[in-house]
Amino acid sequence: MPVVTEDIVLKALSLVNDPELHQDLVSLGMVERVVVTGTQVHAKINLTTPACPLKGVIEADVRRAIEAVGASSVTVEFGATVRASNKPALPGIQHVILVGSGKGGVGKSSVSTNLAIALAQSGARVGLMDADIYGPSIAHMLGNTEDRIKANQNKQMLPLERFGVKFLSMANLVPAGQALVWRGPMLHGAIQQFLKEALWGELDYLIIDLPPGTGDVQLSLAQSVSITGAVIVTTPQDVALIDAARAMDMFKKSSIPILGVVENMSYFVAPDTGTRYDIFGHGGGKRKAEQMSLHFLGEVPLDMPLREASDQGTPVVISHPESSSAQSLVKISQNLAGRISVQSLQSLPML
Ligand SMILES: Nc1ncnc2c1ncn2[C@@H]1O[C@H](COP(=O)(O)OP(=O)(O)OP(=O)(O)O)[C@@H](O)[C@H]1O
C-alpha cells in the first residue's frame, strides 16, 4: 500500500497551477492545511476570492494530484482571503472598484447592484456606494429609500445594509422627491465623506456606482484613494460605445486600470416564442473591449425580470436567480473577482 505523507501531498500540490494566476498553489500560499489520516487526505485551499470562477477546476486538479500519489479518498475544503496588491485601498477596504458607463441609462446601477449582491452571496464582504449624487438609484434598487443614514458620536456615517451588502446613497440623506442643488466643492465633500468618513468596516470589495459621464465626480474619486480598477458598462449600440470609449479614455488618463467591459441589454429572448432579437445590436461591447485590449467580462440580456426587480427593490439575483440575466450577472461577478485577483498578484512586487 502506498504511503501518503503531508510532504508528498504538498509536493503534488506544488505541481498544480491556479488556472488564472498561472502559478502553483503552494507558491501562491493557497494551501492552508493538509491532513493525512492513513491514505485519506483532507486539503484546505485558500482562494484569492470566494467568488472564484474556477473553483470547480481547482478542486478537480487538486483531487487528481492527490489521488495520483496514492490517496484512497480526498476531501477538498475551500476558504478565501481577498488580498490587496500593495496596501489596502482604504483602511479595512481591500479593493475599490468603480462602475462607469459614459452614457446614461445603459444599466450601470443595475449592474453595480447585482454584482455587489452576487459577490456578497459568494461570501465576500461587500459595500456599495452610490456616487450618483444627483440621480441616486441604488437605494431604490435595493428597496430601501425609507431609512435615513445615521452617524455615530464621532460623526462617522453608518452605512445601511440590504441583502448582505452595506450601502450609502444620497437618497437616504435627502428627503425623497427633493432635488439637490449642490455645487462642485460640496459634491466633492459628499463623495469624500461617503468614502473616507463612513464606517464601512472590513470590506473585500467596495463597489462605487459612478454617475454617467466623465466629469468631476470621477476625477474627485480618482484622486482621493487608490482604486483597484474600473468596470465599463455599455449597451451594444454605437451611441453607447462612443461614450464608453470616452469613459475608458478618462480612466486611462487618470491611471485607473480597466478591469473589463460588460455589455448590457445584449439581446432579448421573447419569453413566449423563444425567438431571439438583437434589439440594440449584439457584440459591440466585446468588439470594443478587443479593440482596446481590455477584458470582456460578459453580457447581460434585456430581461423583464431584471427591470421589474429593479423597480420593486429586490434585484434580479435575489428575486429571479434562475433567470438568464441573473445567471449572467453571477458569472460576471466571478469573472470580475478573478480579474481583481490576477491584477493584484501581477502588481505585487517580484521577490
Ligand atoms: N438588462 C436589462 N434588462 C431590462 N431592463 C434593464 C436592464 N438593464 C437595465 N434595465 C432597466 O433600465 C433602466 C436604467 O437602468 P439603470 O438605472 O441601471 O441605468 P444607469 O446606467 O445606471 O442609468 P443612470 O446612471 O443614467 O441613471 C432601469 O429601469 C433598469 O431596470
**pLDDT band at residue 181, thresholds of 50, 70 and 90?**
low
Under 8 Å between Cβ of 164 and 128? no
Which residue shows C-alpha cell 492545511? 33
For the CA of 265, the nearest atom of ligand 1: 1
Which residues form ligand 1's pocket by a CB distance below 6 Å? 101, 104-110, 132, 135, 137, 212, 264-265, 300, 302-303, 306-307, 310, 325
54-62 mean pLDDT: 95
Domain extent for 163: 93-346
Q: What is the number of residues in the chain?
A: 351
Most confident segment among 75-89, 117-131, 171-185, 211-225: 117-131
Phi-psi region of 298 (alpha: psi -120 to 50; beta: other; left: phi over 0): left
| SS3 at position 296 | strand
CA of 307 to the centre of ligand 1 (A): 7
Q: What is the pLDDT of residues 199-208, one digit of tens each?
A: 999 999 999 9
Residues that constitute the known binding site for ATP: 102-109
**Among 132, 95, 101, 111, residue whose Cα is nearest residue 248:** 101
d(CA 127, CA 90): 13
Angle 304-312/108-121 helices, nearest 10 degrees? 80
330 in any annotated domain: yes
Q: What is the pLDDT of residues 249-305, one digit of tens each?
A: 888 888 899 999 999 998 888 888 988 888 888 888 899 889 888 999 999 999 988
118-144 mean pLDDT: 93
Best residue for ligand 1 mutational test, from 235, 307, 324, 332 (most atoms within 8 Å of Cβ): 307
- H/E stretch holding 206 reads strand 203-209
Cell of 33: 492545511
Return the CATH number at 35: 3.30.300.130
Ligand 1, atom 12: closest residue by C-alpha = 107
d(CA 294, CA 149): 37
Return the CATH number at 335: 3.40.50.300
210-228 mean pLDDT: 81
d(CA 129, CA 169): 6
d(CA 34, CA 40): 10
Residue 44 pLDDT > 90: yes
CA of 221 to the centre of ligand 1 (A): 23
**Does 97 share its domain with 235?**
yes
254 in any annotated domain: yes
Apex 160 CA angle, 155 and 162, nearest 5: 170
Share the mean pLDDT of the chain: 89
**Does 317 share its domain with 250?**
yes
Domain count of the fold of the chain: 2
d(CA 3, CA 199): 52
Q: What is the pTM of this model?
A: 0.90
